[in-house]
Structure 1
Amino acid sequence: MSKCQSDKYCGCHCEEKPCYECEFHETKKCPPKLASDCIVVDSLICSKKIYKVAELSVPVSTLGDIISIGPGGVITPLISLTPDLNGVVSQITVVKDMVINTGYLPANVTILGIETPLQINIPFQQETMCPGVCPEDTVKESPYKIEAKVTQGIEALGVSVANILFKVVLSTNLTVTRPVITKAKNLKVVKDVNEDRCESRDWYG
């Protein structure tokens, strides 16, 4: 048998390379067949900008003997607050039509512009009304932004002691979503992934 006659058996061009050389063909996986023409997407339930107020009153005596509160709440020497946004601890609880957020903001106390080892955790809580939200909805918040910082001295009066009020106003964008089943072509909502999420329940589940 000639080389050219062997072409029909080996499928190669005899003038280019011998028939005993292997030829490789790329293999590709076929996409799996879907069992349904529906898909799961996140439906937007609530989106708004909210403000959280972190506030703590600290007795002057806990900050050292060099700090005093004069008439009108004047603090001597001058102190300020340096919040640590990276250390914010936050917990979110979703109930019917409301998102409850609690947590605290760590901060350092600065005296005359000099950072000190004095650290405090400033608690905050916020209730946001979002009609339509239910337990098991997904809540996301954008990175916190500091809108304002307040350091206010409070004079001692009667049996009360002198205090310093630390307050930080934070802002964030709150977004609540819910997974729903939709038709792939026109995204028509078929049903909720969990149709019982909005049913009332007792505190023990």
Structure 2
Amino acid sequence: MVKIYIDPGHGGRDSGATGNGLREKDLNLAISLKIREKLNHYQGVTVRLSRIKDRTLSLRQRTNDCVVVNSLVGTKSVQKVAELTLPITAFAGLDVLDDLVAVDVVPNLDEVTQNARIIRDKVVNIGVLPVTITVTIAGVDLPVTLSTSIPFQEHTDFPGACPEDTLQETPLEVEGIFTQPGVPVITGPVVGDLVTGILFKVVLRTNITVTRPVIQDAQGNICDVNPNRCNNIGDAPSFTLPAPENANGGIIPLSNS
């Protein structure tokens, strides 16, 4: 369904330009009525006019009669899981798993980098979460602290969402932190290059809201500003997202003593 709103300018006490026995308000109304007549011949098209006779309308009355508002497509509470496995050799002095005494992971939400895009019926979110990892090693006087970024991604089903819609997210919150020592990790180009590692997982929580622009008239009826906004156009969309500031994603030793 396509809805068209036509506003014949001037009217009533406001005659607009005059000349040769003609008044602008009359011409505007006559042309608008003729346009409505032509458009009504099409199926799936409805036409409304701000006035259909000679009457005075303020600008506020015209704009209030049909305004663009945001309509809620949906809102969801979403978990995003940041996950990374590091070899135990990343921590200087930790040669065997039995020497691992304790692990502490501190996420830095202030420096998180994330990029979200809407594709049809889905919200895609990709990012990295900076963390500080501290391990206590038997026989080593001081803990070993490393800084790195843990990648995360989340594909959320969002029926009715389209690429032209607007996406909003609440600030991320940490819902849980997990570590699992003893996980094998590949350290070389050969599959057999497996060493013992530690799995780090941080579960994040956010609320995603998707809205779309619609036209709402004085009676509360609404229709899409772009009724074809979800139609597939050509090939699937391709996105190149900006890299985080710490683009190398490497492990940066902060202290080792």
Structures share fold, TM-score greater than 0.5: yes
TM-score, normalisation: structure 1: 0.73
Given the alignment of the two structures, is residue 88 of structure 1 paired with residue 121 of structure 2, yes or no?
no
The 3 A distance-change label for structure 1 pair 42 and 115 is farther
Which has the higher relative contact order, 1 or 2, with Cα contacts under 8 A spaced 6 or more apart?
Answer: 1
> 1:141 offset after TM fit, Å?
1.0
Could you tell me which amino acid in structure 2 is paired with residue 104 of structure 1?
Answer: V
- Whichever structure has more helix as a proportion of its residues is 2
Given the alignment of the two structures, is residue 77 of structure 1 paired with residue 127 of structure 2, yes or no?
no
> 1:104 offset after TM fit, Å?
1.0
Give CA deviations for 1:102-158 in whole Å, capped at 9, x if unaligned.
Answer: 11111011234x886511111111111111111111111111111110111116697
Judge conservation of contact 1:101–1:127 (CA < 8 Å) in 2: yes
Match of 1:28 in 2: none
SS in 1 for 2:162: coil
Identity between Structure 1 and Structure 2 (%): 39
The 3 A distance-change label for structure 1 pair 42 and 67 is farther
For residues 104 and 187 of structure 1, what CA distance do their matches in structure 2 show? 43
Judge conservation of contact 2:109–2:172 (CA < 8 Å) in 1: yes
Q: Which runs of 4+ in 1 moved over 4 A?
A: 114-117, 155-159
Judge conservation of contact 2:181–2:197 (CA < 8 Å) in 1: yes
TM-score, normalisation: structure 2: 0.59
Given the alignment of the two structures, is residue 169 of structure 1 paired with residue 203 of structure 2, yes or no?
yes
- Choose 1 or 2 for highest CA Rg: 1
Aligned pair partner of 2:161 in 133, 145, 159: 133
The 3 A distance-change label for structure 1 pair 186 and 162 is same
Match of 1:198 in 2: 230
Match of 2:59 in 1: 33
Match of 1:188 in 2: 221
Match of 1:7 in 2: none
SS in 2 for 1:162: strand
Unaligned runs of 5+ in 1: 1-31
Judge conservation of contact 1:67–1:76 (CA < 8 Å) in 2: no
Judge conservation of contact 1:39–1:182 (CA < 8 Å) in 2: yes
> 1:67 offset after TM fit, Å?
5.9
The 3 A distance-change label for structure 1 pair 156 and 102 is closer
For residues 237 and 160 of structure 2, what CA distance do their matches in structure 1 show? 22
Unaligned runs of 5+ in 2: 1-57, 137-141, 186-191, 239-257
SS in 1 for 2:59: coil
> 1:83 offset after TM fit, Å?
0.2
User: What is the RMSD computed on CA atoms of the aligned residues?
Assistant: 2.4
> 1:77 offset after TM fit, Å?
3.0
